[in-house]
Amino acid sequence: MNNEKIKILIADDHPIFLKGLQEVLEEEPHIQIVCKANNGIDAINGALDRALDIAILDIDMPGANGLQVAEQILANKSDVAIILLTMHKAKDAFLKALEIGVSGYVLKENAVVDIINAIGAVSKHQSYISPEMSSFLLQQRNKLKGDDDNKLELLTSSEKRIVQLIAQYKSTKDIAEELFISEKTVSNHRMNIAKKLNLSGKNSLLRFAIEKINV
């Protein structure tokens, strides 16, 4: 996205929240709101009709919900980063979002604080999850068992450590700093881990770690 303004679509069916979100974003000189929508259908049409970098979508919208809108946008414009907004701490919806390829997941109760951080992360092709959502998911974590025990045995001790850190929602940069290695080394480890675990698709390793690793 270089030095050009980040082009953003925002969609939410609550007028007051949509206005507040617009005001927060318009304070940032590097951000340009190119489309606003108050339902899923208008959000899809707006995203497909305009040059866009990021779509910020409420999960609960009439016409089409945020997950459905995200699927439609990514099917046609895979380079658009999606940030979902939600009032609910729901693991199933979060995992579905990861499966679709959503880059950011922000709780509406903390949106004013989190949204700029989320935009900064996804514009650099990183994932972002509200800290409160991360804490909730850590509490809900399933224990590793069955076939997944066998899968982890394919990994080296270094790779297992990286998977644990991924399960704690650490970014590649965070992991590199914690393990005193380069980001490129972490990226190589991630690719090797995904290959050994037979994982493919965006966020597949993060999804595996969230569902299966108990930290």
Phi-psi region of 150 (alpha: psi -120 to 50; beta: other; left: phi over 0): alpha
51-71 per-position pLDDT tens digit: 999 999 999 999 999 999 999
Mean pLDDT of the chain: 87
Give me the pLDDT at residue 144, please.
41
Sequence spans of domains, the chain: 6-130, 141-212
Range from 15-24, 88-97, 148-157 carrying the lowest mean pLDDT: 148-157
Question: pLDDT tier at 215 (50, 70, 90 boundaries)?
Answer: very low
Domain 141-212 in CATH 1.10.10.10? The answer is yes
Segment (H or E) for 63: none
Give me the pLDDT at residue 203, please.
82
Q: Is the pTM of this model over 0.85?
A: no
Give me the pLDDT at residue 50, please.
93
Q: For domain 6-130, which CATH number applies: 3.40.50.2300, 3.40.50.20, 2.115.10.20, 3.30.70.120?
A: 3.40.50.2300
Q: Is 192 exposed, middle or buried (0-12, 13-18, 19+ CB in 10 A)?
A: middle
Give me the pLDDT at residue 1, please.
45
113-165 per-position pLDDT tens digit: 899 999 999 998 888 988 888 777 766 654 444 445 567 778 888 998 999 88
